[in-house]
């Protein structure tokens, strides 16, 4: 099975090809005024909501800057695009930035969403005999390799007195894992919202452990170092827009569910279920958050998924140091 690190290296090569054929950010032209901001997004995250609202596009248009939104299927691909300059900004969960740093991506952390530990969980079928994490010993557990939920699983097993080698990890994408869960070919699934809410709603999945008290589960707002250093005012504008969006989203779940339902194709009731445990709030990076990220990176190094030791502090924004 391909590691998350190796996958990132392959995607890097693909991104280099994209850059070579001209999919390259205006922001990479040193000393030139920014003409277009290229933003990577996934259709179920907060940047998809920012795109739908259109407030950032309007704010940038007033400065003569166009906005280009580029959809990615997953965080590793998006961060390799960030590394080679096909996009300037991205948002991912906790784990992809650590893998990207290990693959030599020159990214920085701009800010983060407040912790969302209740939005990822270890699930089992309703009729399963598994009642606790300890019962997973010897079981087949599906997850996305090198993802945020991989970190949750490692920490949950540790708390239950088990090692990662005590279970059989089955590395699957969310769609493949959903099918495996439905047909009973796995014993448990570690997954995040909105997939979590969907399988609860439509398959009666039962939670045995979420991330509460184990791992924080952040969303990070990231930029290429070159972009942030050359256009700090635009980076600050994006953070401000995300903060305003977060405040609005907490009080407008129906409208958020409608927008994300349109983006993802999932029914609004599923999104409302997910949003009930998904607080929004944009905050600047601080020493405590960097310490938590270093712990995450060291954990993945410890189980061999990241083959090198990384220093998360190297991804600090210079103005935050």
- Domain architecture of the chain: domains with CATH: 4-116+218-320 (3.40.190.10), 118-210 (3.40.190.10)
The H-or-E segment that residue 226 falls in is helix 225-230
What span, in angstroms and rounded, lies between the C-alpha atoms of 23 and 211?
A: 38
Q: What is the mean pLDDT of the chain?
A: 90
Is residue 305 over pLDDT 70?
A: yes
* Least confident span in 130-139, 143-152, 235-244: 143-152
pLDDT on residue 170: 97
What does the pLDDT look like over 239-248, one tens digit per residue?
999 999 999 9
> Under DSSP, is residue 3 helix (H, G, I), strand (E, B) or coil?
coil
Query: Does the pLDDT value for residue 11 go beyond 50?
Result: no
Looking at residue 79, its pLDDT comes to 87
More confident residue, 32 or 306: 306
With bands split at pLDDT 50, 70 and 90, how would you rate the model's confidence at 319?
Answer: confident
Q: Is the Cα torsion angle 34, 40, 43, 44 positive or negative in sign?
A: negative
248-299 pLDDT, tens digit per residue, is 999 999 999 999 999 999 999 999 999 999 999 999 999 999 999 999 999 9
- Give CA–CA dist 72/241, Å, rounded: 21
3-state secondary structure of 2: coil
Q: How many CB atoms lie within 10 A of CB 308?
A: 11
pLDDT tens digits along 95-134: 999 999 998 989 999 999 999 999 999 999 999 999 999 9
Residue 135 CA to residue 188 CA, distance in Å, equals 10
Task: Determine the Cα–Cα distance for residues 8 and 96; give it in Å rounded to an integer.
Answer: 9
The answer to whether residue 29 scores a pLDDT higher than 90 is no
Cα 284 to the center of its chain, rounded Å = 17
Phi, psi (5° rounding) for residue 132?
Answer: -150, 170
Q: Quote the pLDDT of residue 56.
A: 97
| DSSP string for 238-288 | HHHHHHHHHHHHHT-HHHHHHHHHHHH---HHHHHHHHTT----EEE--HH
**Measured between alpha carbons, how far is residue 100 from residues 23, 85, 140 in Å?**
20, 14, 28
């Amino acid at each position: 099975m391909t590691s998350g690190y190796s996958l990132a290296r392959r995607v890097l090569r693909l991104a280099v090809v994209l850059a070579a054929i001209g999919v390259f950010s205006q922001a990479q032209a040193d000393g030139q005024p920014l003409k277009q901001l290229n933003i990577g997004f996934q259709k179920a995250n907060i940047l998809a909501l920012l795109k739908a609202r259109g407030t950032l596009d309007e704010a940038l248009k007033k400065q003569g800057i166009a906005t280009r939104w580029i959809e990615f299927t997953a965080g590793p691909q998006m961060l390799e695009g960030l590394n080679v300059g096909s996009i300037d900004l991205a948002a991912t969960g906790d784990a992809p930035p650590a893998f990207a740093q290990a693959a030599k991506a020159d990214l920085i952390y701009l800010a983060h969403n407040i912790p969302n530990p209740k939005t990822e969980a270890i699930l089992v079928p309703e009729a399963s005999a598994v009642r606790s994490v300890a019962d997973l010993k010897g079981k087949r557990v599906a997850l996305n390799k090198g993802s945020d939920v991989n970190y949750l699983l490692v920490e949950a097993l540790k708390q239950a007195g088990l090692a990662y080698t005590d279970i059989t990890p089955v590395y699957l994408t969310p769609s493949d894992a959903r099918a495996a869960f439905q047909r009973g070919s796995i014993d448990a699934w570690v997954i995040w919202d909105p997939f979590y809410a969907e399988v609860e709603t439509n398959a009666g999945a039962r939670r045995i452990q979420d991330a509460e008290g184990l791992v924080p589960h952040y969303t990070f707002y990231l930029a290429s170092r070159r972009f942030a250093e050359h256009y700090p005012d635009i980076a600050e504008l994006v953070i401000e827009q995300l903060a305003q969006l977060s405040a609005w989203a907490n009080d407008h779940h129906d409208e958020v569910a409608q927008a994300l339902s349109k983006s993802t194709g999932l029914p609004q009731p599923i999104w409302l279920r997910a949003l009930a445990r998904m607080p929004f709030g944009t905050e600047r990076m601080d020493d405590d958050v960097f310490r938590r990220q270093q712990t995450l990176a060291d954990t993945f190094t410890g189980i061999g998924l990241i083959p090198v030791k990384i220093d998360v502090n190297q991804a600090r924004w210079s103005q935050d140091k």
